[in-house]
Chains A and B, each alone.
With several copies, the nearest count.
Chain A
Amino acid sequence: MKRAVDLSVTLGPLRLKNPVVTASGTFGYGGEFVPYLKLSELGGLVTKGLSLKPRRGNPPPRTCETAAGMLNAIGLANVGVEAFLAEKLPALRAHDTAIIANVFGETQDEYVAVARRLNGAAGLAAIELNLSCPNTEKGGIAFGVSPPVIQEVVGAVRRAAPDLPLIVKLTPNITDIAVAARAARDGGADVLSLVNTFLGLAIDLAARRPVLANGAGGLSGPAIKPLALYMVQRVHREVDLPIMGMGGISDAGDALEFMVAGSSAVQLGTVNFFDPTASVRVVRGIEDWCRREKVGAVRDIVGTLKAPQGAAPGPCSG
């Protein structure tokens, strides 16, 4: 006989039936996965990034496989916030899971406009701000690398969408992600999600040209897991906000490691491509593990990472 395990987790104002959420840009608008799994088995799902107007994205090639990872430069193609509300959200609402809208803009005003439009939309559980996009007003430098810019855009969105839990998604392309995390907190974030993709490049040697039409792209998948895990642990130590960790999570063991490192919930991205039913398998795997380890409530393992065995631990490797 199976003992019941409490898989529910709470991240500030956001309550999830379990800690497994599918990541933005890797799960479409949700409906695409209905043939393969019950959306209601997921803790939640994050939509493809939404902008004010529809975006067609970058020309192909948009993706490239790398060692245990992949590069993408989709260019944030999406149907736009209006079409999302009119055509996607109504069908999603039917499924008993947390629907999280991922939001981005090229300017702070666009972030604000999209967030305002989403505020109060029936069936929306939260919005997630993608700060990895280039700020066209600041010479194309990503919003997410400048603490004052982070604090300002987060604050503005906070005011524009007062009714929705606000998740701020951090870019890992920064010297110390804890600094960005603090700025997001000071701007009014309820939850932090990390990490987005790492800037990377693949070259077609025969053509002496970048493989991706866009040139650079974002690296995701198992290859980045150790980097993401480090950042999650660091932010958990330095900043007092609940975390949704992600980066290469491909099975229940990976997900549990992120939780031990300080993630209250996890997001699954690239794994949805090479294993479309992974998300529900991870939910079950977490439950089985809790049962085996006699953990009554999975939330109890969040941030339980012990100190390293070594005498005087420091970042010094080599």
Chain B
Amino acid sequence: MPVDISSRIVRHEALNPDHFLLTLEAPPIARAARAGQFVMLQVREGYDPLLRRPMSLYRVLPGRRGRIQILYKVVGEGTRHLSRQPVGTSLKTLGPLGNGFALSAPASRAGGAGRAPARPLLVAGGVGIAIFPFLVEALRARRRRPTLLFGARTRRDLVALDFFRRRRVPVHLATEDGSAGSRGFVTRLLEPLLRPAEAAAGTAGTAGTELYVCGPTPMMRAVREQALAAGVPCQLALESQMPCGIGVCLGCVVRCREDEDSPVFQRVCTEGPIFDALRVIL
């Protein structure tokens, strides 16, 4: 059950000039949180900005102190104000919100890939990486071995790699400027891994492969196409402008395929932020 609490900043670390790792004391949120969920975070007091900002749960730290972490990038005024908040400040924090990732392949495809050993591929674009550490811990707790494909504009934006390396998560990198990993988009890294076994000698094929994707919309659109083409299950972590985060303003909707029991617009904050690639229209 989500709560709205005032949570103290216990750590606030700059990973580079525009990426920050925030640690908050928020026991009730830490207890209830699932991978893929988010919080609505007040960035500073007063009416500028008026609305809270949605932020994924980067991690729930082990231990009894109920600490949660958020990894964010400064993209505008709100995140800039947030980045100036000193340790000790308390910020209103509402959560955990949203559906979170489905940790077994979506029912729709369970039949197809059910028996094969699960091969979770995490596909991150830019600050979309922020949603995956929590997921990695959840998957490992289920004895799954995720692989990370991480694309960014340039080397500097490849943050949080230590987290994955320390846990021996295989990491494949791509940067648009080629400053690290292979040059180009993350989709290039994904391509070979989605080739059917027979066609791709030496690859395991797509049996058991499931995609977890978070990044800028154009990147998610592309990955979605690849996944649908390869017929592998794919969960997309969507973003949208979120005034309330709790399903009441109807502001955050995304277009979805029509069917009896779901309207054509679904709320990213409530029916999402995690959507099955088969359902959402980007």
Contacts and interface: CB of A to CB of B under 8 A. Distances in A.
| A/B touching: CB–CB < 8 A | yes
A65 B43 CA distance: 14
A26 B248 contact: yes
Contacts of A142: none
Contacts of A61: 240-241
A271 to B, nearest CB: 9
Given A56-B264, A277-B4, A74 B249 contact: yes
Contacts of A222: 47, 50
Interface string B243-257: 110111111111100
Contacts of B114: none
A65 B50 contact: yes
Contacts of B247: 28, 32
Interface in A35-59: 35-36, 48, 54, 56-57, 59
Contacts of B52: 274
Given A35-B2, A274-B50, A64 B248 contact: no
A13 to B, nearest CB: 28
Q: Is the interface of B mostly helix, strand, loop or mixed?
A: loop
B48 A67 contact: yes
Contacts of A65: 49-51, 241, 243
A277 B42 CA distance: 14
Interface of B: 1-4, 42, 47-52, 92, 94, 240-241, 243-244, 246-255, 263-265
B227 to A, nearest CB: 23
Of residues A59, A62, A68, A69, which shows the largest number of chain B Cβ atoms within 10 Å of its Cβ?
A62
A27 to B, nearest CB: 6
A16 to B, nearest CB: 21
A79 to B, nearest CB: 9
Contact of A272 (B248, B252, B265): B248
Contacts of A57: 250, 253, 265
Given A60-B240, A65-B51, A274-B50, 16 more contacts: A26-B244, A26-B248, A32-B246, A36-B246, A56-B263, A56-B264, A57-B250, A59-B265, A60-B241, A62-B241, A62-B253, A68-B50, A69-B50, A70-B50, A221-B50, A274-B42
Interface residues of A, number: 36
Interface of A: 25-28, 32-33, 35-36, 48, 54, 56-57, 59-65, 67-70, 72, 74, 77, 221-222, 250, 270, 272-277
A222 B50 CA distance: 9
A129 B179 CA distance: 60
23 contacts: A32-B248, A36-B246, A48-B250, A54-B263, A56-B264, A62-B241, A62-B251, A62-B252, A63-B249, A65-B50, A65-B241, A67-B47, A67-B48, A68-B47, A70-B50, A72-B243, A72-B249, A74-B249, A77-B265, A222-B47, A273-B248, A274-B50, A274-B51
Nearest to B265: A56
Contacts of B42: 274
Contact of B48 (A63, A68, A273, A277): A68
Contacts of A56: 263-265
A56 B265 CA distance: 7
A69 B253 CA distance: 20
A107 B91 CA distance: 46
Nearest to A27: B248
Contacts of B255: 59-60
A270 B249 CA distance: 9
Contacts of A32: 246-248
Contacts of A270: 50, 243
Nearest to A276: B4
A72 B51 contact: no
B246 A74 contact: no
